[in-house]
Amino acid sequence: MNDRQPSIVVDGVSLAYEIPVNATSSAKEYLINLVKRRIIYEKFWALHDVDLELHRGEVLGIIGPNGAGKSTLMKVLAGVLPPTTGRVIVRGTVSPMIEVSGGMNGELTGRENIVLVGALLGRSPRLMRERVPAIAEWAGLSDFLDVPVRTYSTGMRARLGFAIATDRKPDVLLIDEVLSVGDESFRGKSLQRIRDLMDGGTTVVMVSHALAMVERLCRTVMWLDRGRVKAVGPAEEIIAAYREAV
Ligand SMILES: Nc1ncnc2c1ncn2[C@@H]1O[C@H](COP(=O)(O)OP(=O)(O)OP(=O)(O)O)[C@@H](O)[C@H]1O
Ligand SMILES: [Mg+2]
């Protein structure tokens, strides 16, 4: 990969969710309307004209109130939601952790989920089976490998998801809140792992309401408010302004 090319470019991105306005009470009625094309959608703009450029090894924190559009922007970066207008370029391999479930299936065991999520990240089942002990060990879940993930606590799921996503060095790591559900020891371990990835050139975008953690990890912070970039700049400065405002 060319180091001088930005690893993430977001250029004038706006995103509208389509919300059905004539919502019906029954699934049957909804299907009839759908087939007859009688459903009327209203656009809700969750992102307005967002610009962003990040280079290899940079770490960006995204903060802002509930409903500001942070997770929406992460989904756009992950390629899950195509922008309604504007352009997004993300270069290299991407490890998205944008939901605690992280593509896991609750009915499958921890062991099976390691292989499943690995496949979603483009890693071979054979490699993932080899990596099971190391991933479980790092996540502190070696004793829980053979029970269904639905029996895990939220923090345990986050540990497993993070351990899988960071088992191989991705070019881009996207983390939405996942770390805040972990306990102190997991947070410490994952911060160290993120720092190691950064040193290795991984570009990181993290969304969090844990402002102290964002301040510790990120040099640059973007403040989103009602879908717009309210401010972007040095972490300390932006976080102080945000704290002041809320
Ligand atoms: N699938 C969807 N359909 C319609 N509207 C949505 C959808 N997902 C999110 N929204 C709306 O888009 C806006 C931004 O939501 P988003 O989840 O990106 O916020 P957020 O900044 O991540 O908030 P939080 O801090 O609570 O996680 C909200 O007003 C939300 O209601
Ligand atoms: Mg969110």
Predicted confidence (pLDDT) at residue 209 exceeds the cutoff of 90: yes
pLDDT of residue 181: 81
Cα 126 to ligand 1 centre (Å): 37
E strand residue ranges, the chain:
8-20, 41-54, 59-63, 85-90, 94-97, 172-176, 203-207, 220-225, 228-234
Cβ-based burial of 245 (10 A; exposed 0-12, middle 13-18, buried ≥19): exposed
Instruction: Kindly state the average pLDDT of the residues 203-214.
Output: 94
The DSSP output letter for 125 is: H
Structural domains of the chain, ranges and CATH numbers in brackets: 8-93+170-245 (3.40.50.300), 105-168 (no CATH)
Question: What phi-psi label fits residue 229: left (phi over 0), alpha (psi between -120 and 50 degrees) or beta?
Answer: beta
Q: Which amino acid is at 72?
A: T
Predicted confidence (pLDDT) at residue 211 exceeds the cutoff of 90: yes
How do residues 124-159 score in pLDDT, each as one tens digit?
Answer: 999 999 999 999 999 999 999 999 999 999 999 999
Cα 98 to ligand 1 centre (Å): 13
Which 3 state secondary structure label does DSSP give 211?
Answer: helix
Q: Relative to the alpha carbon of 68, which ligand is closest?
A: 1
Beta bridge partners of 54: 8
How do residues 78-87 score in pLDDT, each as one tens digit?
Answer: 999 999 999 9
Confidence band of 26 (pLDDT split at 50, 70, 90): confident
Predicted confidence (pLDDT) at residue 68 exceeds the cutoff of 90: yes
Choose between 242 and 19: higher pLDDT: 242
Ligand 1, residue 74: give the atom nearest the CA.
Answer: 18
- In short, whether 17's Cβ falls inside 6 Å of ligand 1 is yes
Closest of 91, 88, 110, 102 to residue 166, by C-alpha: 102
- In short, whether 164's Cβ falls inside 6 Å of ligand 1 is no
Q: Which two tokens stand for residue 12?
A: 């004038």
Q: Relative to the alpha carbon of 44, which ligand is closest?
A: 1
Q: Relative to the alpha carbon of 62, which ligand is closest?
A: 1
- In short, whether 222's Cβ falls inside 6 Å of ligand 1 is no
Predicted confidence (pLDDT) at residue 1 exceeds the cutoff of 60: no
- Name 43's Cβ contacts closer than 8 Å, sequence gap at least 6: 16, 17, 18, 19
Residue minimizing CA distance to atom 29 of ligand 1: 67
| Stated length of the chain | 246
Predicted confidence (pLDDT) at residue 95 exceeds the cutoff of 70: yes
Global confidence as pTM: 0.89
